[in-house]
Amino acid sequence: MIDIKWDSKFEIGHPRIDAEHRAFVDLIRAVSLEAERDCPKEKAMRLLLEVRKYAEFHFVSEENIMLDIGYPDYAEHREEHAWLLRRLEDEAHSYYTDSAPLEELAHFMFNWFALHTTTVDKKLVASIAAHEAAAKT
């Protein structure tokens, strides 16, 4: 079983994005803890809804930053976000109707988060820093 918690390797140096990422990891951890406790399905579904809504809010806020700086990889990055939101909806449905394991869903979300944050989001933050540096000159 993997330990779902914040790690300094997820820190990408943008205070607001890092703060939102921390909250997202906390929610994924909460799903994992509910899975361990074998909580009622209705409760887990509410939590999965919270994860999805939080992810959607966070993605829109990242995408708005991208638009502000004229980020060249906007469409590609946005598609990664949209893919995850579609997948979360499908996975929540599978959990509810076919009893797909909740713990596996938590692992899937955490693995996606770890990869996305340390690659795609890191690239975005480098671009934000370059944009800010250029604005100062």
* 20 near Fe ion, judged by CB under 5 A: no
Nearer to Fe ion by Cβ, of 34 and 121: the residue is: 121
Q: Which of residues 61-80 bind Fe ion (CB under 5 A)?
A: 62
Residues belonging to the chain: 137
**Applying CB under 5 A, which part among 4-12, 19-27, 38-46, 115-123 lies near Fe ion?**
115-123
CA dihedral angle for residue 128, residue 23, residue 45, residue 104, rounded to 10 degrees: 80
* 121 near Fe ion, judged by CB under 5 A: yes
- Crossing angle for the helix pair 74-98 and 102-116, to the nearest 10 degrees: 170
**Applying CB under 5 A, which part among 34-42, 63-71, 93-101, 113-121 lies near Fe ion?**
113-121
**Applying CB under 5 A, which part among 19-27, 30-38, 60-68, 87-95 lies near Fe ion?**
60-68
Close Cβ partners of 55 (under 8 Å, ≥ 6 residues apart): 24, 81, 84, 85, 88
